[in-house]
Amino acid sequence: MRDHPMNSLGFAKPPADTRVVVAMSGGVDSSVVAAMLAEEGYDVVGVTLQLYDHGAALAKKGACCAGRDIHDARRVAETMGFPHYVLDYENTFREAVIEEFADAYLAGATPVPCIRCNERVKFKDLLATARDLNADCMATGHYIQRKMGAAPELHQATDANRDQSYFLFSTTAEQLDFLRFPLGHLASKAETRALAAKYGLPVADKPDSQDICFVPNGNYAAVIEKLRPGAADPGEIVDMAGNVLGAHRGVIHYTIGQRKGLGIGGLGEPLYVVRLDPETRRVIVGPKEALSTRKVALREINWLGDEAFDSRAEWHLNVKVRSTRPPRPAVIRPLSATEAEVELLDPEDGVSAGQACVFYAPEGSRIFGGGWIWRGRN
């Protein structure tokens, strides 16, 4: 057995003797991963997490697309002939993701719950379940690459438009050892859909989900109001000196960097939301330059470099401070193994507490981890 060549998942044994748990969301990406590995002859076990009940989250009937996704994942498993399990993670998800999302949003931060879900649910509890099932590894439909260096490394997806590295920066070295991402090398989403059609999967034409799973139609305010009654209380719009310029209908309706819809036009220069103060129920506005951030404080850093993070006084890497921005040059100065100050060589607008700052190699595709922004300044 020891002489067996390495299989496609990196194990020196036949696919049939390699058990892989596939995290199946019911979408086309994870369905293709499961089908591809099943066709290659792996011992595939599909697992879908029930994370929330849309009907309960929105207090209305007929909003449950979570049930649809579970149904779709099960149909894929039946089509390809492998076992499929549904695990109820609603309580875990509420405690580890939804509650923090609501608190962070009300504190004026811009939370990214998908990262916390990967970190605290999918790559923690689900990964532990995969080990309990005696799996050799766990595969997901994320667009990111795992490459072998001295140890497993995290790399951006081949298709820059699909790359999900920003949402996976908190994947630890130990988790990376166990995870596999079979779609990361594909050139486009069209290739994934072509594979789904080839395997005859019922989800081949299913549209991509655009929203955070528990925030249908992108309506954050409605969800926060349900989770935190009173969060939509009206208050004052003030300038940076504290002068009252107008009234607002609840801080949850505003985001850092917002210019339109403030209802305070005709004051000369354009004004932007530069800060939210939920305790005094104030929306603070100022000129565009007040949004500009050069230094960012990070904590909860997950480092994926080959040497210890705090072994150097500074790291010269590229960083992304929002999922939609390209990586930009920065100097990262460690304060400890998990905290740092980042100096952006070109200031960025609208940097917000609660977002992630992800570290990228200046050249090439490698990701060096990242941390959570808790403060930004000029």
**Among this protein's residues, is 213 annotated catalytic?**
yes
- The answer to whether the CB of 8 falls within 8 A of the CB of 181 is no
End-to-end CA distance of the chain: 60
Q: Which of 64, 65, 114, 117 is catalytic?
A: 117
For residue 294, report the phi and psi dihedrals to the nearest 5 degrees.
-110, -35
Distance CA 119, CA 108 (A): 22
Torsion of CA 200, 201, 206, 208, to 10 degrees: -120
Q: Which of 65, 114, 137, 213 is catalytic?
A: 213
Nearest-Å Rg of the Cα atoms of the chain is 22
**Among this protein's residues, is 137 annotated catalytic?**
no
Structure tokens at 133: 């099932």
Q: Are strands 179-180 and 152-156 parallel, antiparallel or unpaired?
A: unpaired
- The answer to whether the CB of 357 falls within 8 A of the CB of 342 is yes
349 CB contacts (<8 Å, ≥6 apart)?
Answer: 257, 288, 291, 292, 293
From 278, 351, 357, select the one nearest 104 (Cα to Cα). 278
Q: Which residues are catalytic?
A: 117, 213
